[in-house]
Structure 1
Amino acid sequence: MLAGRYIYALVLPGFVFFAIFKFLPMWGVLIAFQNYNPFAGISGSEWVGMQHFSNLIQDEHFYILLRNTLVINLMNLCFFFPVPIFLTLMLNEVRHEWFKKINQSIVYLPHFLSWVVVASMTFFMLSVDVGFVNKLLVYLGLDTISFLSEPQYFWGLLTIQNIWKETGWGTVIFLAAVAGVDTQRYEAAVVDGAGRLRQIWHITLPAIRPTIVILLILRLGHMADVGFEQVLLMMNPLVNNVADVFDTYVYYRGIQQGEISLGTAVGLFKGVIGLVLVLCSNYVVKKMGHEGIY
C-alpha cells in the first residue's frame, strides 16, 4: 500500500501538468463555433455553428494548404522516419564505447539548435549571393542554383533540415529499446553461425519493431501538423505556393488579421484529422498482428 502511494506521488506532477495545460484549455475549442469577441468572452460571443469550417473548406487556398501539409509530412515519413532506425542499428554495432558515445553526442547536438540558427545556416550555405555551395559551383564553372527561391527545392530542403536536426534525437528511444535486448540472444546467434546482418535482421529489428510501430502511429497522428517555425523562416514570396500550410494560414489569418475563431477552427480540424489517422492506423496495425497504442 505504501509503495502504491509513492507511485501515485510520482504520477501526480504529470497529471497536474496535463490537467492544467492540456485538458482545461480544451474549453477554448468552443471559439471555433462562434464569432469570438475578446471583449464579450466565450459566453457572450455569437454562436455560428459550423460556419468557420465551411469557410475553411470553401477557401480557394484550402486544397493548396492540404496538399502542401500532406506532401511535407509524407516526405518526412518516407525519408526522415527511417533514418533514426538505420542510425540506431549502426550505433548498436559500434564495439568501442568511447567512440560510440562521441558519435551519439555529435548527432544529438543539432537537436538543441533553434530553427532560427538552422535557417540561417541554410541561407549561408545555399543562397545565391553568399552561399558557399553556389560559390563552389561558380568556381567549377557551373551556373548558380536558386535553392531558396525555386519552388521545386522547397519540400526537399525542409526534409533535409529535419533529417540533419532531429535524426540523432530520434535514436534515443530506439537505442533504449535495443538496450533491453538480452545479450544471450546474440551469443546464441554467434554459436549458431549467424553473421552481423542476420543478427540485426532476426534479433535487433524484431526487438525494436513494437517501438517502430508505436512511433509510426503517433507520427501519422501529426500528419496535419508541420513545424511552424521552420516553414515560416524558410518561406518567401517566390515559394509561397508550395510553402503555405495550415500552421502559417492560422498565423496570417488567425493572428495577424484577428480571425481568432477561424484559427481555432483550423486547429480543431487538424486535431480531428490526427485522431482519425491514429484510430485507423492503430486498427490496421492490430489487424496485422502487432500491438497498438491501446
Structure 2
Amino acid sequence: MFAFALAARSASVALAKRGFIKKVKILQISLAEVIFLWETNFSLGNFTGTTNRSGSLSESNPIENYNFTVNQTSDFILGLRNLTADADVSGGRALNNNGFIEFDEEIDTSEQQGTVDESLNLKLTPGNYLAKVYLFEDGKNTPDNLDLSLNFLATPTQALGKSLAGATNVGTLNGIDPLTGTLNNAKPSDIYRFNLDENRDFSIFLDGVGNNTNLQLIQDFNNNQIIDSGEVINTATASYTNSGVIAYNRHLFCACPIANRNQL
C-alpha cells in the first residue's frame, strides 16, 4: 500500500508561506524616473556548461538581465559573489519574451541580507529564461561576479521508451489530492497525469511504502505517450522510513506533466 499526494498552491497564497517579502524597500520616485530606470540586458543564447560574467551595479546600472535558452531538461545553478553592497538574484521563465521577469514568470529568488553570497539551484525544462541581478541598496555600488552552470539531466535508462498510455487523469491540481494504491510484481508502476492552470507552488509526496519506491516527474513534450530523453524532470525515492518528495516553487508547466511511481 502507498499514499500519494499532489499539492498545489496559487502564487498569491504562496507569498506569505515562503517568505517572499523578505526585504522591503520603499521607493519615492517620479514617473519620469520610473521610465528611465535602466536595465542592462545580456544574451547567453543556447547556453550549456559553465560561464562567468563580471560587471558592476550602481544607481545608473541597478539591474542586469541574462537571457538564455534551455533545449533539454537541465540543472541550472547560479551564484553571485564578491559583493560590497546588498544585491539579489532571481530566475524566471520568459513566457512573453519582453526582456524582464514579471510576477507570474518568477520561479525563485535569493535575497540574503547584506553582502552575503546569493545562489539559485533550479531544474529547468526546455524554454526561454531570464536570470536577473539587481541592486538592493540605494546609493551604493558593487561589483557583481556571476557564476552560471547549466547541465542536462540524463533520463534514467530504465525509463526510456516506457509507455505513458493508460495514465490516471487527476486533472487540474487545486489544493491537496491524495491517492492510494498497491504495487506488486504484476503491477510494478502507477502513472498519474495532471496539469497546472497557473504559476503555482506544487509538491508531490510519496509515503507509506513497504519497500524502496521510485517517484518520477515526467513531461511528455512531444505528446507521443512514451518517455523520451530529457522528459524525466525530477526523481525522488521513498522508503519505509522516509517520504519521497518532489517540490517546485511557482512553476508553470505548459503541457500536462505526469507522475510515475514504481518499485525499485
TM-score (ref. length: structure 1): 0.19
- More helix per residue: 1
TM-score (ref. length: structure 2): 0.21
Highest CA radius of gyration, 1 or 2? 1
- More strand per residue: 2
